Amino acid sequence: MPTIGIADTTFARYNMGAAAIDELKNSISAKLIRVTVPGIKDLPVASKKLLEEQNCDIVIALGMPGKQPQDKICAHEASQGIMMAQLMTNKHIIEVFVHEDEGKDDQELKFLMEQRSREHAQNVVKMLTRPEKMIQEAGTGQREGFADANPL
Ligand code: RDL
Ligand code: RDL
Ligand code: RDL
């Protein structure tokens, strides 16, 4: 049975970790280990600890970069840390970021945070148990949250 780590933040305005966990529970028989940290810059080490100390096979890291310019820089830095943690552990950390300004209002933002968390949880399941399904979807314009893009 695989072990999946879930790392999320208290900064986010929606419980992204709960959405991901609900989706995982309905889709895969796995041990789930959750950790919540203050913000996205804390996700890289939280994820690395899940991979190395809790022996997770994969981690889903969820967070919400805010609207301000300093938040966008913070998101870029957090992403770089998440990528570094992946390279250091040779394991995937699926980064689920929803920028606060991606939704035109609170309702749409809530929808996007819920939906992107769930769709990336499905990516985690596929990468872990059915990598051939990912190959079938290659080049099909998949997006998480809003509608997929048109394949050419
Ligand atoms: O280590 C404590 C904090 O520095 C860390 O939690 C940061 O990720 C918090 N944070 C910011 O400092 C910031 O300027 C966050 C954001 N912006 C942000 O947009 N989203 C976050 N955290 O999740
Ligand atoms: O780890 C899961 C995702 O974070 C990761 O697959 C990203 O590469 C997905 N992604 C974005 O989050 C984004 O804002 C992509 C793009 N933009 C993009 O322009 N092209 C991509 N992925 O292939
Ligand atoms: O094609 C429209 C959007 O997908 C595009 O604007 C993306 O850049 C939005 N986006 C993010 O900003 C992000 O941080 C996406 C992701 N993460 C993601 O993981 N999956 C997406 N979009 O489909």
CA separation for the pair 134, 138 (Å, rounded): 6
Give distance in angstroms: CA of 65 to centre of ligand 3.
12
Domains annotated on the chain, with CATH: 3-136 (3.40.50.960)
Residue 95 Cβ < 6 Å to ligand 2: yes
What's the gap in Å between 121 CA and the centre of ligand 1? 23
**Nearest ligand to residue 75 Cα:** 1
Residue 7 has which token pair? 């790392």
Please tell me if the CB atom of residue 119 comes closer than 6 angstroms to any atom of ligand 2.
no
Ligand 2 center from residue 56 Cα (angstroms): 22
For the whole model, what pTM was predicted?
A: 0.98
Q: In whole angstroms, give the CA distance from residue 143 to residue 33.
A: 26
Q: Which of 83, 139, 94, 93 is nearest to 116 (CA)?
A: 94
Q: Let me know how long the chain is.
A: 152
CA distances to 10, 70, 76 from 13, in Å: 8, 17, 19
Q: Ligand 1 centroid vs 39 CA: distance in angstroms?
A: 4
pLDDT in tens, the chain (152 residues): 999 999 999 999 999 999 999 999 999 999 999 999 999 999 999 999 999 999 999 999 999 999 999 999 999 999 999 999 999 999 999 999 999 999 999 999 999 999 999 999 999 999 999 999 999 999 999 999 999 999 99
Q: Whose CA is nearest to atom 5 of ligand 1?
A: 39
